[in-house]
Structure 1
Amino acid sequence: MKGYLALEDGTVFEGKAFGATGKRHGEVVFNTGMTGYQEILTDPSYCGQIVTLTYPLVGNYGINDEDFESQRPQVWGFVVREACTIPSNWRSREKLEEFLARYGIIGLEGIDTRALTRRLRSYGTMRGIIATGEQDPDFLVEEARNAPGLSGQQLVPLVTSKKPYIIQGQSYRVVLMDFGVKQNIIRWLQKLGCTVIVVPAQTTAEEILAYNPDGIMLSNGPGDPKDVPYGVETIRNLLGRKPIFGICLGHQLLGRALGADTYKLPFGHRGGNHPVKDLRTGRVYITSQNHGFAIDPDTLDPDIVEVSHINLNDGTVEGLRHKKLPVFSVQYHPEAAPGPTDSEYLFEQFMQLMAEGRQNGLEVDGHATK
């Protein structure tokens, strides 16, 4: 069956459809990772987006039962150069095309993904329509131009947990604000022995503190941080009361809670090879990233917060550290999945802050906890 991807700038790619049939709009983005398509497909941060992979062959190791980052695929469309129909891997349980069809995700193969990536890199991410069957290309372009942009959509409510749940551990109690959390963040906290209390995105500060946590984790998630004002308000009310560690969208929301502004990047950072420099040590880490927005460093209060990490490709803010409180965040993914694990040490830093918090005590509602 024919398949199409139409962009708002008038570009139309024609290829072969696989997976589900139908039509879907979304922001068209690209990811440069060479492996990890299952994790990319199921990453809640991709909700609202049509994702193209720059690596040419996708699906060659199938879909397994272990590498899910959420319960189902979260992308709104999937574009590849070639979709493998005969996967070969001992863990494989399902073909890529079967997986997409089962969850109603449209796939498109056989197009020039290099040309698509160059266009997005040159002109920025665009609204697009992915469609199957016989279509009028001009009409698809018009639909793409009329589709809603990523900003303004309420995407976090689509991916956050519906109710709180607890995963018991042996050490520190961590409340994880779920803005669209990747499961590998939870796995890392479990690996460190933490009791993980996952709460929906709209949980209030008072409800979070009622769990008596040792620390608070702010998860990744989809969309524009300006569309999550309730998260910003909760974080602002938590500052100084418990150690806080933010990742990706959680980093952006923390920045906004500290008074900073955020802005949209031309084409974002999505892949597993982004160089990030720690400004304190001078060390460079190769990081896994997936985001389209960034913190404006000129809007940070230098008396309160410092930029701890920068992206060596474009100089954007990759980390924040509060100068007085046990609060820090990174724009990239220390839990990886997929990608390098160079930055897993950040989880140990969070553990250290929680240990110090237990020892020294932080204030809750104006009263010392110790």
Structure 2
Amino acid sequence: MNVSGLEWAITLSVTIAILLFDVIVIGRRPHEPSRRETATALSFYVGLAILFGLWTWFFHGSQYGLEFFAGWLTEYSLSVDNLFIFLIIMASFKVPRIYQQQALLVGIILALVFRGIFIALGAVAIARFSWVFYIFGAFLLYTAIQLVRDTDHDDDADNVVVRFAQRHLSFTDQWDGLRLWVKENGKRLMTPMFLVIVALGTTDLIFALDSIPAIYGLTQEPYLVFTANVFALMGLRQLYFLLGDLLKRLVYLSQGLAFILFFIGVKLLLHALHENELAFINGGEHVPVPEIPTLWSLGVIVVTLLITTVASLYKTRKDARRLASEAEDIAGQADPQSGPRP
């Protein structure tokens, strides 16, 4: 893929401009956005990603267009799971709703920074060592297995870094926007927002470790890797407020992501074998194994996400009906004179 310096400059300029706009607007007017505001912004960001994918398709070729859409959907799915952890962090630290938007923006910026670093490191590693795909593939298989085993995220906000900060720093219970510390009686005290930012940052770091091998399993073009991550993170703040309740209903999201990561892990291992240069595998020669086309990858990702969403909504609706029925039965036993409801 031949990406000109002008394309890189425009991409970086637009990304920085959008982030600066968010920082300036939110910094001046922290608030809980309305449903109309969040829906409008989210539609804009999703539409922008689709237009970029179509532009890539027509100006750089259908193969790169497919790679972008597959990468964007995968990164968006991982970002939604990341968003679920953000919900838990906000609830754990009891962040006031008026400050949640500011904290989310910081979390998204940190995610961009961490992913940018890992994108660059991944590109260098791939260019120099073809065997790095073995590591990426094995890591994704391990991550997929861990996701299936541990679908309870309740302890994610209480990580090692947060506990270390709580033990070794002095804190105040007072919130003051995005300020990380205040002075009381001449003593510097950390605000609760400090712990929130630490929790968000460490969570972003962990998710960056998962997402970068996943995207490199779908495309080895650094430009597409970067843009897929940028578009996956755009609108995440609005999605938090628009779909907060819906996110809690996606009970099979982790299982769906686990399957996608496992699939991409297998795809990476097959690619590693196809490009093999390790002497102890097939004498350092390429292994004639089939590789999974990008179109198949995109199809698997889309179908998995659809099945995950439908199955999750069906289960939560079924559980809600069961709980309502049990509540009616208990009420009827407590008041037998009332009889069954019509």
Greater per-residue strand proportion:
1
* Structure (1 or 2) with the larger CA radius of gyration: 2
**Structure possessing the higher relative contact order (Cα contacts under 8 Å, 6 or more residues apart):** 2
TM bin, normalised by shorter chain, reads: under 0.3
Report the TM-score when normalising by structure 1: 0.24
Report the TM-score when normalising by structure 2: 0.25
